[in-house]
Structure 1
Amino acid sequence: MINALSIEDLSFTYQSWTEKENEPLFRALSLALPAGSKTLLLAPFNKGKTTLAKIICGVCPKYFPGELQGDINLYGKSLSDLDPWDLLPVCTYVSQNPQEQFVATSVEEEIAFPLESMGMERETMHARIEEAITQWGLQDLRTSSEQELSGGERKRVLLATMQAIDASFWLLDEAFDDLDQHWRDQLKHLIATKDKTVLVLASRYLREFDDLFDQVLLLDEGDIASGDRSTLISRFAHLCGDDLPSPLETEHIQPSQKRILSCKSLQAERSRVSTTKSKQFTLEVPDFQLRSGELVTLVGPNGSGKSSFSRLLCGLDTPIAGQITIDGEPFRDKQLSKRVGYLFQSPDLQIFLPTVAEELSWSLKRRSDLSKSEIESRIATCAELFSLDLEDTPTTMSYPLRKALQAAVYYLLDRPFYILDELDSALTYQSTLSIIAHLRRNGAGILLITHDRQFADKVAQRSYTIKEGRLIAV
């Protein structure tokens, strides 16, 4: 049987943009995937998982410079001999960060773009687009721009595009992240029933993975390990630190004062300007509370209003009724933003400076009570805590490291309340827990938005959900 993917003696080192030389990510890595196989590749974050995916689909080192050696073949053809238009119907890549893949101005055009590039007949293209849009529940969002979609909706657009292209090989990087349970089940069914070669890359083992794959592999020390499934999963848990005590269990929180963030009879409306068929979105919050030192979760369907609620809590949007109070005193807009830190789903919306050091020091330099030496000391300590290199350029860092940088910035701001929107996406459980523990060190109240119910059940002291536009306690 021909292999869908064959990699032999792969080595890769990213080009360095500083005086420090980069270490090789892979050393003589080899991998063979039979056609039609379903494979799960586990890897701790920042160990080369996404880079491997980008090498396989031909965008690295073309657009991400580095030194590449080794042989890569897709269905018996060398990757070096395949032009991008030849590769499109062979291999489809779904990124862990949906925003980096969007090229069109609407959902329908996004799905159509690769089909047009393939020279597909109009009638066939139209049929595939309609089937994919229906399959992924995007009927009312066909005219929506990427900026007005939620994280889960963006991921569904990429998966709909993958389905419409109908390539032989599906390369899915953290594809289950950002999806609620309904759409996770949909993706799981699609993987199980379609006659495709599927490679799923993940930095967490989800219960959806049980019985879904022919084989489980592990990216370990720059090479790929195979063998007994339970042994590999145990090794993976050890590499991720998931066999260590939870940082939340060992932390000692000593809040300087007990505070409470509350919402009463809150109402909000929000419309998507680019969405012609969708109705105006309405959210009702009868009662919500977050206290100092608490870890509260918010779990709900894609597009239900979780991020919209977050924007209200941190003052980015203004409710049409009701009020938000801190310690019984009404707050709004900029007053809220100085007390409620909101970590967006995408870290790239909150990172904008050329180096990690500049990013971390930006807010501290605006304080008159800190000397230059004190600022340098604080950012050095913070960088060590979040495993960051002060000289690194954020735009060349991995997606998980950019999320860690985003969290580190807010760590230095030291807000009494934090909203973490899909923080666990693309991170290991231990990494997520460590970030939460760091942010909660001074007694901050944490609202964690997640689609991983298994994770939410383990960490939450209380939980909320949104059903039919209404936030309720569960």
Structure 2
Amino acid sequence: MQHALHISNLEFTYRSWKEEECDSLFSNLSLKLGEGSKTLLLAPFNKGKTTLAKIICGVCPKYFPGNLRGTISLFGRNLSTLEPWDLLTSCSYVSQNPQEQFVATSVEEELAFGLESLGLSRSEMKERIDAALGHWGLESLRTSSQQELSGGERKRVLLAVQEVLQARLWILDEAFDDLDQTWRDQLRKTIQESDNTILVLASRYLQEFSDLFDQVVLLDQKRIHTPAFDALLPRFSRLCGDDLPSPLDGQVLDSCKKHTLSCIDLQAQRKRLSTLQGQMFSLSVPNFHLDSGELVTLVGPNGSGKSSFSRLLCGLDDPISGAVCIDGQPFTSKELSKKVGYLFQNPDLQIFLPTVEEELSWSLKRRKDLKPEEMRSRVSECADLFGLKLGDTPTTMSYPLRKALQAAVYFLLDRPFYVLDELDSSLTYNSALSIIARLRQKGAGLLLITHDRQFARGIAQRGYGIGDGRMASL
């Protein structure tokens, strides 16, 4: 069988802008994928999965400078002799952060962008685009801007892009994250029925992975390992810390005054201005409450209104009727913004300063009661708590580490309530649980939005679901 991908003795070291010596991510890494095979590559975050994907796609080190050694061939062609645009029909990639891959102003144009480079006829382009939009449930979003899409809808757009390009090798980086159960099942079915070579990268073993792959491999100690499956999963669990007791088990919360965040008869509407075929979206919340120290989950299909509800809770948007209350008293949007912290799905929308230290210091600098040395001490302790380095530049950090930085910023803000929108996406279970435990330590009430129902059932004290524009208790 011909190898779709053959990596031999790969080593890679990023080039530091500080001109410091960086650790090599890989050491004599080798991997072979047979043509038409389905492979799952497991590794904890920050171990090089995404870098490996970008190397295979030819964009690293070309656009992400570093030193690369070893040989890589795609379908018998040496990657070092090819440009990224030469790989359009050979290799395609879905990022764990879908927002970073969008280049066009609408869903339809996003699908057409790559096809135009292939020089296809207009009729064939239309045929491929219509089929992919139908396959991924995006027909009504044809004209939509990515700025008005939910995280799961963005991920489906990128999967549709892979479909229209018909590349021979698909690389899917945490592709099941952000998708609700319906679309996870659709992705699983697509992988099963595809004749393409498919490489899925993941930092969690999901139930959807069972009996889906020809081989499961592990990235550990800078190399690819292929132990027997019965030995691989326990080893992976130990690497991720998922075999450790949950930091939530028996957690003793700091004593604090108890508060309740609540909504009664809340009504909201939203219209996607870029969606010509779309209808006015309505959300009804007859009853919702979150108490101090509680961990409550919210689940629902992609685009059902979970993030829209989050924006109401933290004061970013206003309802058309009803109110958001704390301890029974209605709060204005400005007041809510100081009581409810909202961690966006995409951490990059809330990180904007050059270094981790500056990002963590930003909110504390406004406090006149803090002396400079106390502020520096708090920032340093917070960085250690969340596994961050003060001198690092957020834009060069991994996506999961940027999520940890986002959480650390809110930890210092010390809000009584937090909304965590898809926090667990791209994180190991243990790292997600650790962040949740730290934010809850001081007695904050947490609302966790997730598509991982197994994860939700394992940690939630109560749960809500959204369906057909209405929220209800589960």
Q: Distance in 2 between matches of 1:390 and 1:443?
A: 27
Q: Distance in 2 between matches of 1:465 and 1:278?
A: 23
User: 1:18 touches 1:391 (CA, 8 Å); kept in 2?
Assistant: no
| Cα deviation code 1:280-317 (max 9, x no counterpart) | 11000000000001000001000000000000000000
Q: Distance in 2 between matches of 1:390 and 1:216?
A: 36
User: 1:143 touches 1:276 (CA, 8 Å); kept in 2?
Assistant: yes
3-state SS in 1 of match to 2:249 = helix
User: 1:340 touches 1:415 (CA, 8 Å); kept in 2?
Assistant: yes
Find out whether 1:3 has 2:24 as its counterpart.
Answer: no
| Cα deviation code 1:263-287 (max 9, x no counterpart) | 0000001111111000011000000
Q: Give 1:206's aligned residue.
A: 206
The structure-2 alpha-carbon separation of the partners of 1:251 and 1:170, relative to structure 1 and needing over 3 Å to count, comes to same
Q: Distance in 2 between matches of 1:463 and 1:176?
A: 22
Amino acid at match of 1:221: Q
Moved runs in structure 1, 4+ residues, more than 4 A? none
How big is the shift at 1:334? 1.1
User: 2:10 touches 2:29 (CA, 8 Å); kept in 1?
Assistant: yes
| Cα deviation code 1:407-430 (max 9, x no counterpart) | 000000010000000000000000
Q: What TM-score results when the alignment is normalised by the length of structure 1? A: 0.99
Q: Distance in 2 between matches of 1:332 and 1:130?
A: 45
Q: Provide structure 2 residue ranges, at least 5 long, that are not aligned to the other structure.
A: none
3-state SS in 2 of match to 1:27 = strand
Q: Distance in 2 between matches of 1:380 and 1:425?
A: 26
3-state SS in 1 of match to 2:53 = helix
> How does 1:231-250 map onto structure 2 within 5 Å?
231-250=231-250
More displaced 10-residue stretch of structure 1: 376-385 or 326-335: 326-335
How big is the shift at 1:122? 1.3
Q: Give 2:221's aligned residue.
A: 221
Find out whether 1:443 has 2:443 as its counterpart.
Answer: yes
Q: Give 2:186's aligned residue.
A: 186
The structure-2 alpha-carbon separation of the partners of 1:20 and 1:371, relative to structure 1 and needing over 3 Å to count, comes to farther
Q: Distance in 2 between matches of 1:175 and 1:294?
A: 30
Q: Give 1:461's aligned residue.
A: 461
| Cα deviation code 1:182-235 (max 9, x no counterpart) | 000000000001101000000000000000001100000110000201211110
The structure-2 alpha-carbon separation of the partners of 1:445 and 1:230, relative to structure 1 and needing over 3 Å to count, comes to same
> How does 1:160-179 map onto structure 2 within 5 Å?
160-179=160-179
Q: Give 2:23's aligned residue.
A: 23
More displaced 10-residue stretch of structure 1: 9-18 or 359-368: 9-18
| Cα deviation code 1:114-157 (max 9, x no counterpart) | 01111112111110000000111111100000100000000000
Q: Give 1:424's aligned residue.
A: 424
Q: Distance in 2 between matches of 1:185 and 1:106?
A: 26
Find out whether 1:377 has 2:373 as its counterpart.
Answer: no
Find out whether 1:12 has 2:24 as its counterpart.
Answer: no
More displaced 10-residue stretch of structure 1: 243-252 or 313-322: 243-252
3-state SS in 2 of match to 1:72 = strand
How big is the shift at 1:19? 5.3
Q: What TM-score results when the alignment is normalised by the length of structure 2? A: 0.99
Q: Distance in 1 between matches of 2:64 and 2:82?
A: 18
Amino acid at match of 2:40: L
User: 2:59 touches 2:84 (CA, 8 Å); kept in 1?
Assistant: no
> How does 1:120-199 map onto structure 2 within 5 Å?
120-199=120-199
> How does 1:9-158 map onto structure 2 within 5 Å?
9-18=9-18, 20-158=20-158
Q: Distance in 2 between matches of 1:81 and 1:185?
A: 38
Amino acid at match of 1:356: V
How big is the shift at 1:20? 3.9
User: 1:85 touches 1:118 (CA, 8 Å); kept in 2?
Assistant: no
More displaced 10-residue stretch of structure 1: 353-362 or 85-94: 85-94
